[in-house]
Copies of this chain bind each other. A is one copy, B any other.
Amino acid sequence: MRSGYLFALLPIAALVSACSSTPSDSSSQRYTPSPSQAEMRQTSPAFAHYTQDVVLDDLWNRPGLNQRDRSIVTLSALIAQNQTIELPFHFRRALDNGVTPLELSELITHLAFYSGWANATSATAILNEVFDERGISNADTPAMPEQRLPLDEEAEQQRQNIVQETYGGVSPGVLHYTTDVLFLDLWLRPGLVPRDRSLVTVSALVATGQAEQVTFHLNRAMDNGLSKAQASEVLTQLAFYAGWPRVFSAMPVFKSVFEERGVLNQPANDAS
């Protein structure tokens, strides 16, 4: 190993502990364990280097978006792409970064609707193991909240009118569930605030290459409190977790939304 190549031990060690923390019942694990630090250095020293020095030590510590939000963005990208191998590590990291167990439950449920049911099933199986490790449970949380967030009835009526006019003849079933289950139910659940639901949705859309759906949801995210500097860093985080091309395809859409809202020239708190 060349001198000058210093490999900080901690974060990958934490990743490794996924394997070693439950040695006796590893055969019942629901996920493929990530490669250990030694395995990564043996197989791809370059990938081990970028993972540690660029992603874990640099990207995650950038200003503009705090670590809790980076966890939400990263988990949304991983779940939406059904990339389970890093989920145990990032569920633990999210809990350490202050994402609550209930928020994780709501994030998964939100992505069932926004990225396909089975992705949420996979994520639930893995989160269940992470909760077991830590003695966490959401079992006492009601499946249906007693109270819901207030609805902006005018905006919702307008949305329904536009969608009904445009697609009423195409699929009444889709429109029925869009109204009754998504906008009058899911988005009003208090376990995850609307700004975070928007963060989850935008991250999933960029990660799965659905730039054409980003305009509506990025505007909604910024209406719900996401700043321009934060949105800018969401793209930086996603470049690594969804890949450069996905982010470059989303960039023109972010630019249009920033322009329309008059925030394009607002500083992005970049410290690079």
Indicate if A144 sits at the interface (CB-CB under 8 A). Answer: yes
State the interface size on chain A (CB cutoff 8 A). Answer: 115
Determine if A162 is an interface residue (Cβ-Cβ < 8 Å).
no
Distance in Å: Cβ of A251 to nearest Cβ of chain B? 5
**A33-B30, A170-B255, A209-B209 are contacts. A243–B115 as well, Cβ < 8 Å?**
yes
Inter-chain CA distance A239–B240, complex, in Å, is 27
User: Is A153 an interface residue, CB under 8 A from the partner?
Assistant: no
Using an 8 Å CB-CB cutoff, how does the interface string of A109-128 with B read, 1 for contact, 0 for none? 10011111111111011011
Closest 3 pairs between A and B when the two form their complex, measured CB to CB: A173-B236, A49-B143, A172-B270
Chain B residues closer than 8 Å to A210, beta-carbon distance:
209, 245-246, 249
Given contacts A44-B124, A118-B83, contact A173 B233 (CB under 8 A): yes
How many Å from the CB of A180 to the closest CB on chain B?
8
Binds B, one of A74-82, A92-100, A219-227: A74-82
User: Copies of this chain, how many?
Assistant: 3
A171: Cβ under 8 A from any B Cβ: yes
Please tell me if A9 contacts chain B, counting CB pairs below 8 Å: no
Q: Is A1 an interface residue (CB 8 A)?
A: yes
- Given the interface contacts A105-B44, A105-B45, A172-B232, does A5 sit within 8 Å of B143 by beta carbon? yes
Question: Is B117 in contact with A213, judged by CB distance below 8 angstroms?
Answer: no
Which secondary structure dominates where chain A touches chain B?
Answer: helix
Contact of A54 among B4, B181, B212, B245 (CB under 8 A): B181
A84, A112, A189 pick with most chain B CB within 10 angstroms: A112
Q: What 1/0 mask marks residues of chain A from 180 to 192 whose CB sits below 8 Å from any chain B CB?
A: 0110000001010
Check A40 against B124 for contact (C-beta < 8 Å): yes
CB-contact partner of A116 in B41, B59, B207, under 8 A: B207
Q: Is A62 an interface residue (CB 8 A)?
A: yes
Chain B residues closer than 8 Å to A62, beta-carbon distance: 173
**Does A106 have its Cβ within 8 Å of any Cβ on chain B?**
yes
Q: Are B141 and A45 in contact (CB under 8 A)?
A: yes
